[in-house]
Structure formats: C-alpha cells, structure tokens
Amino acid sequence: MTLNQTARPANEAPPEPPKRRPGHRLQHYGPAYLMLLPFAVLFAVFLIYPLARSLYYSLTDFNAIKPPVFVGLDNFTELLANDDRFHKAIWNTFKYVIGSVVLTMVLGLLLAVAFKSTSLRDRLLRTVFFLPSVSAGVGIVLVWKWIFMVDSWGLANTVVRFFGGDNRSWLAEPAMSIPILVTMAVWGGAGYAMVLFVAGINAIPDELYEQASIDGASKARQFWHITLPLLRPVLVFVFITSTIGAFQIFEPVYLLWRRSASIVGGPLDSALTIVPYLYDMGFNRFQLGYASAIAWILFAIIFLVTLVQLRVTKTFKEFDR
Amino acid sequence: MSVETISAAGTVTKRPKKINLGAELARLPLYLWAVVVLIPFWWMIIAAFKTVPELMKNPPTFFPRDPSLDSFYDPSAPAPGGTPNPDAVPGVFQRWPEVAGGFLRFTLNTFGVTVIVTVVSLLIASLAAYMLTKTNAPGRRTVFVVIISSMMIPWQVSLIPNYLLTSDLGMTDSYLGYIVPGLAKSFVVFFLVQYLRSIPDELVHAARVDGASEWRIWWQIVLPLLRPALAAMAIFVALGEWNNFLWPLIIIRDEDLFNLPIALSNLSNAIVSSPGSMGVAMAASMLATLPTVVFFFLFQKHFIKGIALSGIKA
C-alpha cells in the first residue's frame, strides 16, 4: 500500500442518475446525505454556530447575566491598545512558542538522525524518547510541579546543589517561568517530532547517499544537501503544527502556578499566556465578550504566523533550486 | 515512497559497519537525554511508594527505603465520620468520600467517555468521509471546504459559546454535555478523506453494480479498508480524550462526573496546603498515566505508523 498517493482526486463518480422528476435527485442521493447528517448536524451546532456567536460576542459587552450590549470594536481596541496584561500574555506566548518549537525541532532532528535504524538499540531508545508524548497530561504536569518544589528536597534543587548551586524557588521566580514551560514542552514533544523525522528520513532513497559517497561527499555534506532538502515537507509540517499547538498552551500554566481557583499566570504574570488569560477573563471574571475577542485575536495571530511560516519555508525551497 | 521502501531503507543499516567512535561520542549527550526523559517517570513512581517522612527527606532518596502503599490506601487514616488522625494522610482511594467509588469512579468515567467519544466520532467521521469521496452528491465539495477551513480556527474560539449553549440546553454537569459537543472532529474527517482518496473507486463501483446499498458498502467495504487510518485516528482521539481537561473543567462541577485530569488538578490544590499529600498526588498521577503507557506498548506499531502517516499525508 502506498503512503503518498494523496493528490489523486476522487474521480470516477458513479453514473449520473437520469434526471426526470425533481424529487428523483433527493431520492437518489438520499442515503448519501443521510450519511453526512450526523457529522453535519454536530458540526453545525457545536462548531459553526458557536463560531458565529463568538464573533458576535467579541463585539459586545457581555457578562453572562445581562444580555450582550453591542460595543463595536471596543474590546479589540482595548485589548490591543490598553490592556497591559494582554500584551504581557502575547509576549510570553511568543517567547514560549519560539523557545519550545526551535528546541523541539532541533532535538527531534538530532534524535532522528542519531537513532533512525531498525537495530534493537535504536528502536528501544526511540520508544524511550517517545514515551513522554504518550503520557502527556495533567498527571505529568503534577510530576513537574513536584520536581520544581521550592523546598530543598525537590529534585530540581537537589540537582542544582549537586552542581554546587543554591536552592531556588523555581515556581516563584518570574525569570524561571518560561524556561520551565519550554523544558516541559521539549521533554514532551521532541520524541514526537523524532518519529515524524525518522519516517521522513527513511523514505529518502538510499541511492542518493550511495552516489554521494562515491562522489566523496562527507556525512555532513550529505546531511546538508540530501537529508535536509528532502526532509523539507516533514520539517514544514512539524514546524507549523507544533507552532499552532504551542500557541494554545493552557494546562501547564494553569496547574503549575495555581494557588487558588481565581489566580492564573504565575508570579508577576510571568507565565501568563493567551489561552490562560482567555480562561481567566471568561470563566473567573465572566467578561465573555472580552474573552471572545481574545479568542479571535489568538486565531488572527496563529493565522498570520502560519502564513509567514509557509512563506518563509517556500522561500527556502526556491533557494534550494 | 512506499512502506516497502521504508523497510528497505531500514535494512540498509543492517549492513556490517565498523564502529565509529566519533559518532558514538557525538551520541553521548543524546543518551543522557534518554535518562532525562525517564527521570520524571521514575520520580513519580518512587514518590508514590514513599512514606510521608521520606518524601520530605533532604537529600531525597532515589529508591524508596521503606516502600509503602499508604499513598494509595492508608489503613491508619480515619474512615468517614471516624476520629480524625492528624498524622495520617488519606490515600488516593480514600479521598472524595462523598463520591461513591471515589478515584475508581473517576477512572471509570474517563474510560467510558473515552471509549464513547472515540467510537462515535470515528463512525460519524467515516460516514462523512465516505459520502465526501465516494459519492457524487451535489454540494459535497463545498462541505469539505467548510470542514477544512474550520480546522484553521483554534477550538478555544468556540469555547465560550459552547459553554453557553451547553448550559442553555441544560447539559452542564451531565455526560451528554461532556461528550456531545466534542463528537464532530474535523481533523478526523480530513484525515479519512485523504486516506479514502488513495483507495480505488472501482471497489465501491463494483459493489454498487451488484446492488449493495450505500450503508452496506460503507460497513462492509469501506470500514475494513479504512482500518489502518481508523486505528491511527482512534489513538489520537482516545489519548486526547483521556487527557481532556479544559472542557470538563468548565462544564463539570458535580464530583460524580469528574474525569481523571480534573480529579488530579483537584489533588494538586490539596498539595499546596499540605506537602505531605505529594505522595498521594504522585500515586494518582501514576494511576492516571499508566493506562496510556500500557496502551502505547500494546499498539506501538499503530502509534508510530499513524504519526508517520499523518506527517506524510499532510
């Protein structure tokens, strides 16, 4: 079975029914539409309709008790021009996204190149590296919380002392917030990227490397001129999907720094990212209109960043030629 | 680029090769990373079996000196209504005394919801994917474009309206409100459509000529053909549902309906007030994480294939 025959369109439709009566069409396609119906209804009710409603709320002042009051673009201008907390959230999110995506990809690629074979050692190590992506969840976030305990018996502090440093209060120090989040993301995501890269690398025909070896190209040159260009589609895929995922970070932020239900964002908001801020505005303060506007700005940011990424990676492609 | 070439590429590395000392040295930091990857798991497991005094020992122990099951069930902890014992920390299975079954109930909730969401969302998505690729019903292209476009929008955008809608329908604090809004998964339809397109239409045509109904073709021909794609998607959907947090956090207040992530987050609050409960939190984390790891080892091949497939299909 081939893996990449995706571009082939669904041609060869069944023969058109003879068009006699108007009702005939529906009768003919009835089963087809009926098959689409369950998905279509749920999709319309819980996705399309909420999107429309969200767009409307984003233009209103709405606190869930009184009916929404239309305020035009006020929420957006307030968020973009005046809301310092939101600016902090965006800035933090970008720091986190760049740190986690770059490190995840670099480490994932290194792991893939180093352990791509089918030998027992490589398969075993790949399983180990992949394990965190399987177990990602609230449980693992709690483990990290325990590792970064302020007390001297926390694991992070024990390690730091082993290397001659002093105890730190990890989760209470603003400068540590983003590095901690990035560490967790790389720990959880590098193995996943590795699996995608291994599949991509092993799909590159061996003849290319053999030919290059005969021509006297070094391993480094082979990596640079064969592996990287041919891996480009997978690199772009991982780059874009991991960026989109990183922008939506919520659970670690919410769980690591929570002291009471209504405090989100860590010391001095140093861990406040966009989705936790949305949650805070929407479900702690019940400013649902404002929170909806945040959601749409998140969409706009992800959309623009994806466009830029596609653009940049395309430029690289032309550069290769 | 076929599966065959992948395995062929794999065999190449089996050629006898000289051990390259430089390459092994370069790998050294990566071996270290393997250790780093395993440490949080190890730290979680040993903490679950440590006693409260050992949990707070400085420097910490890397093997439980006096392994105990107290974090799971502490016999010296008071029964509900019994005399309080300030020295005992109630274990995982003794928390939430007002919920029948306690932690076990949350595990069953999570398991049940995961199974239902996975099965139903895959069934309706495969129906939709079949309709979109193997029939020529008018309008199917428009529908597909709408589905793809919706994937661009982060799901948090629909979070607030969905919360309001669910509460308007009176479905907060119910399994219905927990399950139904998440059943239509666009990325599953997208993935299945991509996969179905690589399957020749002739099979479906032949069945139609033989007079099979669309439903029968879907059930007897298309679903079996889709099996690898369905397995890949089932893994994604099931893992996502097992770890689902934000939606139940918003929609569920009734402790009877808690899933594991919500119960764990609940425990993490208890930790802040009493660090001695950390062992209990780690025991609960272990119990919640273990099934995903077992699941992974059972279906490892499908996992890896599914992920590779998702990268190549996209």
> Which CATH number covers residue A212?
1.10.3720.10
Number of domains chain A is built from: 2
* The model's pTM: 0.88
| Residue A195 in domain | yes
**Does residue A34 share a domain with residue A95?**
no
Structure tokens at B237: 């959907």
pLDDT in tens, B186-224: 999 999 998 898 888 888 888 888 888 888 989 998 999
E-strand stretches of chain A: 60-61, 69-70
Closest-CA residue of A relative to B61 is: A153
Is any Cβ of chain B less than 8 angstroms from the Cβ of A42? yes
Q: pLDDT tens, A148-178? A: 987 777 889 888 888 988 888 888 899 999 9
Contact B253, B94 (CB under 8 A): no
* Residue that finishes a domain, picked among A12, A35, A52: A52
Write out the two tokens for B147.
């589905």
Report the C-alpha gap between A258 and A172 in whole angstroms.
11
pLDDT of residue B273: 63
For residues A281 and A290, the answer to whether their CB atoms sit within 8 Å is yes
CA distance B61 to chain A (A): 9
* Co-location of A200 and A261 in the same domain: yes
B227-265 pLDDT, tens per residue?
Answer: 988 998 998 899 999 999 999 999 999 999 999 999 999
Cβ–Cβ contact B187 with A under 8 A: no
Restricting to B residues 78-97, those with a Cβ less than 8 Å away from any Cβ of A are: none
Q: Which residue segment(s) compose the domain that A47 sits in? A: 27-52
- A43 and A171 fall within a common domain: no
- Chain B residues near residue A47 by CB distance under 8 angstroms: 150, 158, 184, 186
Rounded to 10 degrees, the C-alpha dihedral A47/A52/A58/A63 comes to -70
Asked whether residue A221 is assigned to any structural domain, the reply reads: yes
Contact B149/A at CB under 8 A: no
Residue with tokens 């890896």: B304
Task: Tell me: do A224 and A115 sit in the same domain.
Answer: yes
Flag if A143 and B44 touch (Cβ within 8 Å): yes
Q: Which of A141-145, B51-55, B266-270, B298-302 has the highest mean pLDDT?
A: A141-145
Q: Which of B6, B158, B163 sits opposite A203 (nearest CB)?
A: B6
Q: Residue A257 and residue A212: Cα distance in Å, rounded?
A: 52
Provide the shortest C-alpha distance from residue B17 to chain A (in Å).
Answer: 13
Which of B144, B158, B188, B301 is most worth mutating to test chain A (most A CB atoms within 10 A of its CB)? B158
Q: Do residues A48 and A88 both lie within one domain?
A: no
For residue B175 the two structure tokens come to 């399994």
Rounded-to-integer distance, Cα B249 and Cα B306, Å:
29
Per-residue confidence at B17, pLDDT binned at 50, 70, 90? Answer: low
Same structural domain, A45 and A88: no
Average pLDDT across chain B, whole number: 85
- Does the pLDDT of residue A271 top 80, yes or no? yes
Instruction: Sort B76 into a burial class: Cβ within 10 Å, 0-12 / 13-18 / 19+.
Output: exposed
Domain final residue pick, A6, A36, A52? A52
In a domain, A198, yes or no: yes
Smallest CA-to-CA distance from B64 within B48, B50, B53, B52 is with B50
Quick check: B44 and A132 CB within 8 A? no
Q: Which of A176, A177, A181, A156 is nearest to A166 (CA)?
A: A156
The answer to whether A123 contacts chain B (CB < 8 Å) is: no
Spatial distance between the Cα atoms of B175 and B111, rounded to a whole number of angstroms = 13
Comparing CB atoms, the residue among B8, B127, B265 nearest residue A255 is: B265
Same domain, A214 and A159: yes
Q: Please indicate, yes or no, if residue A19 is contained in any of the structural domains.
A: no
**Cα separation, B91 vs B72, whole angstroms:** 4
Q: Phi and psi at residue A60, in whole multiples of 5°?
A: -130, 165
Q: Could you tell me if A141 and A266 lie in one domain?
A: yes
The answer to whether the CB atoms of B154 and A32 lie below 8 A apart is no
Closest chain B residue to the Cα of A152, Cα to Cα = B58
- Average pLDDT, integer, range A4-31: 54
Our CA-based measurement puts residue A319 at a distance from the nearest CA of chain B, in whole angstroms, of 22
User: Are B260 and A138 an interchain contact pair (Cβ–Cβ within 8 Å)?
Assistant: yes
Residue A71 resides in a domain:
no
The answer to whether the Cβ–Cβ distance between A142 and B131 falls below 8 Å is no
Candidates B56, B160, B197, B239, partner chain A, best to mutate (most A CBs within 10 A): B160
A-B contacts at Cβ under 8 angstroms:
335
Interface test with B, best of A5, A35, A97, A255 (most B CBs within 10 A): A35
Instruction: Please indicate if any CB of chain A lies within 8 Å of the CB of B35.
Output: no
Q: Using CA atoms, how far apart are residues B85 and A42, in angstroms rounded to an integer?
A: 51
Please compute the mean of the pLDDT values over residues B94-99 and round it to a whole number.
Answer: 83
Do B64 and B49 form a contact (C-beta atoms < 8 A)? Answer: yes
Whether residue A65 lies inside any domain: the answer is no
CA distances (Å), A14 to each of A3, A34, B196, in order? 25, 18, 16
User: Is A15 a residue whose pLDDT tops 70?
Assistant: no
Residues 15-34 of chain A whose Cβ lies under 8 A from any Cβ of chain B:
16, 25, 29, 31-33
Residues forming beta bridges with residue A187, ordered by sequence position: none
Q: Any idea which of A79-83, B6-10, B76-80, B94-98 has the lowest mean pLDDT?
A: B6-10
Residues A35 and A143 in one domain: no
Q: How far apart are CA B1 and CA A5, in angstroms?
A: 9
Looking at the structure, tell me whether residues A41 and A140 fall in a common domain.
no
Whether residue B58 lies within 8 A of chain A, CB to CB, comes out as yes
A202 & A263 share domain: yes
Option in B12, B282, B311 nearest A143 (CB): B282
Query: Within a domain: residue A14?
Result: no
Separation of alpha carbons A255 and A146, rounded Å: 12
The answer to the question of residue A72 being in a domain is: no
Same domain? A47 vs A186: no
* Contact call for B157 and A275, based on CB within 8 A: no
Distance CA B58, CA B40 (A): 18
**Using 50, 70 and 90 to split pLDDT, how confident is the model at A2?**
very low
Task: Provide the residue type at A20 as one letter.
Answer: R
Q: Which of A133, A253, A109, A130 is nearest to A181 (CA)?
A: A253
pLDDT at B208: 87
